[in-house]
Amino acid sequence: MKVILTVVLLSLITGSLVFAQQSDDATRKLWDTAFIGPSKATAGRRRSSRKYRIATPNVPIDNVVPESVVGVTIWRLRPAGRADSGERLIVHDDNTAKEWVPERISANTKLGPGDRLRISVEAARNGYLYVIDRELYADGTLGEPYLIFPTTRTLNGDNQVSVGKLVELPAQADSPPFFTIRRSRPNQVAEVLSVLVTPTPLEGVQISDKALKLTDAQVTQWEQSWSTSVGRLEMESVGQAWTREEKDAGATNTRALTASAPAPQMIFYRPKSSEAMYVKLRLSYRK
């Protein structure tokens, strides 16, 4: 009788632990103030994998609506070496296959002409993703805005996002699967990327196979409406290589990231708002 009871109790305990682990893995939380400060309630595993610093101290982290948070990671590619343990991106060029390792960089990393970049974006709710690129010049003026995502060349124009879904730009199946950074003129000092996550599709945006030229009026309206008081958290460490889980999630575009998956390099947030989110990243060139 004692043996039977012991087996039953062990089964119940094991089942509870498995259920708890599955629940944790099935839940992807981008926003948790414990990531940036000590908390007794924070699990050690989570603290070790997510340590952020506040990059915008003037924007409070109180009363943030978790559903409005957006995660962004910028990857810079470098040639793969024999000792590399990270996942590799195989690029077919001139009838040869070359292997590259994507590594995380900071928003403050200076870029050089010819650098190859990839972008991954993750939202904390259902919605629609848009990415705009503009050139920034030394006198402070901006070039014309172009909508570089969505296009029908990437994911067939599907720009829907959901919790845990990782969207990569360009997609792994695109040719080439990276952006090559080059100045268009000598006085260009940076690329300005704007990432929008909206609850409904943007009006007046017609998706085609090419980047869509937008008007200043369109971009100004979106920015004024949705970019107020946006804050940024940035992971304390950089240089982490692409992982298998991130590669698989980006390749299928259907597999959701779990709570134990690597977190975004940057997390953007806005206090007391659940509307559309408009965030900007300035990627500067080296002098």
Across 168-182, average pLDDT: 92
Question: Which tens digit of pLDDT belongs to each residue from 38-51?
Answer: 544 444 444 445 68
Strands 127-137 and 188-198, sheet pairing:
antiparallel
Helix, strand or coil, per DSSP, at residue 123: strand
Mean pLDDT of the chain: 83
What the block records as the tokens of 240 is: 């982490």
Confidence (pLDDT) at 195: 97
Q: What percent of the chain has pLDDT over 70?
A: 83
Summarised one tens digit per residue, pLDDT across range 10-22 is 343 334 333 333 3
Question: CA distances (Å), 135 to each of 130, 164, 205, in order?
Answer: 17, 31, 21
The per-residue pLDDT for range 201-237, each reduced to its tens digit, is 998 898 999 999 999 999 999 999 999 889 999 998 8
Please name the residue that has the structure tokens 């590669």: 247
Give the tokens for residue 120.
């991954």
pLDDT in tens, 55-94: 999 999 888 888 889 999 999 999 888 887 778 888 877 6
Q: Which one is predicted more confidently, 267 or 259?
A: 267
